[in-house]
Amino acid sequence: FRFKDSLAEELQSADLVISHAGAGSCLETLEKGKPLIVVINDKLMDNHQLELARQLHRDGYVLYCNCSTLVETLQSMDLSALKPFPPGQPEKFASFLDKVFGLQ
């Protein structure tokens, strides 16, 4: 897709998602419980996508590669080794903010 307001429908029906390593794309896919291969763009400033992809991989949530190794990654992937991503806990963040701003 070049641009679409939401990929929720496509994510819901996907068996596997291959995406760039943007934080929003990664988190949205992982929160839907879909296996994810992130393809880093190592040409981006300070290579921040690589840092996120490596950490999510170390934690066992995603596979990652670059464009030149995507086919190899697809051929050797073991999606059963990926761990489910834990659900978010927005109430903890809201409570923290309440304390910081003296609302609690």
In-domain check, residue 34: yes
CATH code (residue 18): 3.40.50.2000
Q: Give the mean model confidence (pLDDT) for residues 17-24.
A: 92
| Domain total of the chain | 1
CA atoms within 13 A on the CB side of 27: 7
State how far the Cα of 95 lies from the Cα of 104, in Å rounded to an integer. 8
Give kind and range of the element (H or E) at residue 64.
strand 63-65
User: Which tops the pLDDT comparison, 61 or 91?
Assistant: 61
pTM of the model: 0.81
Domain that holds residue 75: 7-101
Mean pLDDT across the chain, nearest whole number?
A: 91
Give the pLDDT of residue 56.
96
In-domain check, residue 45: yes
Q: pLDDT-derived band of residue 87, with 50, 70 and 90 as boundaries? A: confident
In-domain check, residue 1: no
In-domain check, residue 2: no
Task: Find residue 50's DSSP bridge partners.
Answer: none
